[in-house]
A = this chain, B = another copy of it.
Amino acid sequence: MLDNTQGLHVVAQTPFLPDGAVDHDSIATLTDFYHGHGARGLLVLGVSGEAQTLTPDEAVAIAASYVAASYDLPVIAGVSSPNLAILAEITEQVRAEGVAGVMIAPSAGVRTEEDLLAYFDAVFTRIGDVPTVLQDFPASNGVLMSVPAMARLLETFPQIAVIKEEDMPSARKVAALRAAAPRPVRILTGNNGLYLPQELARGADGPMAGFSYPEMLSGVDRLLREEGDSAGAHTLFNRYLPLLKHEAQGAMGIALRKEMMRRRGALAHATMRAPGAALSADDIAELDAILTHMDLPA
């Protein structure tokens, strides 16, 4: 089901009401916003979707709301967990709600190539034939997968249809994966889109990232992959880069992104559940200064 994955897959926010409850109404406006700005698919329940703050029931309900609102865009759900029983249970539940696939990063304890194979063997024994995005993101889980190790995963587990590549430097790794993959696989790239022109030039199939101007991500992808317009792609990318970089700052970056999306009408409240990320007056002034000195469309 994920075999033809390409183009922008937005890493979707989880909207909250001011009291911290999930804001299911804003899921509909968010989905409109993503769809209207070029998304070809959605990744929900990722780290920047604040999945770590959700109970399993909430997580499943959010996936269901996104599926209901999604215009036939495929919805992929992040289900990584140190607990395989929870991973399997949530996978089953979100599949029942209609998600097209799941995204899984190996658990923090995985160290050797043998461990890695054993880990995914345990995963797929439990979840079965679910289309899967393999997330390669060592900055988050501490697991460094070599290119030969990832090739072995592709060889062994036909469920892996897509790789989300965000090991740095990512453009080099995309090229190495393309050269080493023993079968066709789709490669999307993350890292907040910071290296998108380079990743696409080296063979990526699109971005899987969040940004308050998703039209930049889809535009760069279209210009480079479909129109071969490198100059146009770089110009568009550079224009938004100061804000893109500013949003790529961990939990504070998510807070900034939600604030920007609130201003753009994509969600009702910028509330985050994750502790410590509330924006101060200085943070807002800093954001405004960046916006003032950029050349954004009106």
Chain A residues engaging chain B, CB cutoff 8 angstroms:
52-56, 58, 82-86, 89, 108, 111-115, 118, 122, 138, 144-149, 168-169, 171-172, 175, 194, 197-198, 201-202, 230-231, 234-235, 237-238, 241-242, 245-246, 249-250, 252, 275-276, 282-283, 286, 289-290, 292-294
Q: Would A293 and B235 count as touching, CB distance under 8 A?
A: yes
From known contacts A85-B54, A112-B149, infer whether A172 and B283 are also in contact, taking CB-CB under 8 Å: yes
Q: Would B230 and A144 count as touching, CB distance under 8 A?
A: no
Contacts of A54 in B (CB 8 A): 83, 85
How many copies the complex holds: the figure is: 4
Q: Would B112 and A145 count as touching, CB distance under 8 A?
A: yes
Q: Per a CB cutoff under 8 Å, which of B55, B113, B249, B292 touches A113?
A: B113
Q: Of all chain B residues, which has the CB nearest A290?
A: B234
From known contacts A58-B85, A293-B235, infer whether A202 and B276 are also in contact, taking CB-CB under 8 Å: no
Give the CA-CA distance A235 to B85 in the complex, in Å: 43
Give the CA-CA distance A58 to B294 in the complex, in Å: 45
Contacts of A114 in B (CB 8 A): 146-148
Contacts of A241 in B (CB 8 A): 238, 241-242, 245
Q: Would B234 and A86 count as touching, CB distance under 8 A?
A: no
Q: Would B168 and A286 count as touching, CB distance under 8 A?
A: no
Give the CA-CA distance A56 to B2 in the complex, in Å: 30
From known contacts A231-B293, A238-B294, A283-B172, infer whether A83 and B245 are also in contact, taking CB-CB under 8 Å: no
Q: Would A55 and B86 count as touching, CB distance under 8 A?
A: yes
Q: Would B85 and A230 count as touching, CB distance under 8 A?
A: no
Q: Would B286 and A171 count as touching, CB distance under 8 A?
A: yes
Q: Would B84 and A169 count as touching, CB distance under 8 A?
A: no
Q: Would B238 and A242 count as touching, CB distance under 8 A?
A: yes
From known contacts A238-B242, A250-B169, A275-B118, infer whether A56 and B56 are also in contact, taking CB-CB under 8 Å: yes
Contacts of A242 in B (CB 8 A): 234, 237-238, 241
Q: Could you show 15 A-B contacts with beta carbons less than 8 Å apart?
A: A55-B86, A55-B89, A56-B86, A58-B85, A111-B144, A115-B146, A171-B286, A172-B252, A172-B283, A230-B293, A231-B293, A234-B242, A234-B293, A241-B245, A245-B245
